[in-house]
Amino acid sequence: MSQQVVYIDGQFVPEAEAKISVFDHGVLYGDGVFEGIRLYDGNIFRCREHLDRLYDSAQAIAMKIPISKAEFEEILAETCRRNGLRDSYIRAVVTRGPGTVGLSPFKCPVPTIFVFTAQLRLYPDEYYRDGLTVITTAHRRYSSDSFSPRIKSLNYLNNIMGKINAVNSGVQEGLVLSREGYVLEATADNVFVARHGILVTPPVYMGILKGITRDAVIELARADGIEVREEPITQYEVYTADECFLTGTAAEVVPVRVVDSRLIGEGRPGPITLRLIERFRAITTTDGLKI
């Protein structure tokens, strides 16, 4: 199998040569930011929005990305070109860079930047047809007054612990609650519920990641005349919903069939969910950056 080409710090190299220092603070402390992006038929979906979030995350942790967004766009596109890809997952990572052992980021003069691609299919087709089985995880989200979940940082332990809980329970995903008991999101995706034709998703201020796919789905729903509300939801609202689905870069729009042993609605993807899956897939090849 041929090796993919990876971009790292100004060079495109075979993946076996793509290495970072063991003293990089991204490795030592999870100090850095990243984005997961999709390439659909030669179109980097919502590339600008992903880069805006990447640079905002870096700004929030007092890290300056040493290249412009336009330069970063070209790196993403060229990584795909060099790998001969038309459809792919793209991971863009900026770490604090190598430095001394110790927490201070000021001992890391130059951030590390790398970009790679991967073939990713988060869920098989049957889950888009039949829906996921989901539990509420035992691991609550850390308080947003200590660290903003809007920062897409390299430290994903809170999410990972929730995913371990879900996998060990024999289900595909887990819902994460706030310390107050509100439903925030899944371990890797945003969450929506529909009831009486109204779509509801938790607001960003509750402590969730402002998902790129989430925003696209809200726009598509409103364009179709569906009322969308961004307001707190509880487990009760999920259990009694007519429909529930998750959104994310890897998952796209995926229905939820069961939550905590409760069948959602009629136990199959509902009309709003199916319509938004169709509408979302229709824009993936046109909304973004052509490589």
**Over the stretch 181-194, which tens digit does the pLDDT of each residue have?**
999 999 999 999 99
Q: Which two tokens stand for residue 118?
A: 């991967």
How would residue 2 be classed by pLDDT, with cut points 50, 70 and 90? confident
Identify the band that residue 55 occupies on the pLDDT scale cut at 50, 70 and 90.
very high
Among 235, 227, 222, CA closest to 261? 235
Give the mean pLDDT of the chain.
Answer: 96
Strands (E), 137-283: 173-177, 183-186, 190-195, 198-201, 228-230, 243-248, 252-259, 262-263
Question: Catalytic residue numbers?
Answer: 152
pLDDT exceeds cutoff 80 at 142: no
d(CA 218, CA 190): 12
| For residues 210-234, average pLDDT | 98
Domains of the chain, first to last: 5-118 (3.30.470.10), 125-283 (3.20.10.10)
> What pTM was estimated for this model as a whole?
0.95
Measure the CA–CA gap between 256 and 254, rounded to whole angstroms: 7
- Secondary-structure percent of the chain, ordered helix, strand, coil, rounded to 5: 30, 30, 40
Give the model confidence (pLDDT) of 79-128 as tens digits. Answer: 999 999 999 999 999 999 999 999 999 999 999 999 999 987 779 999 99
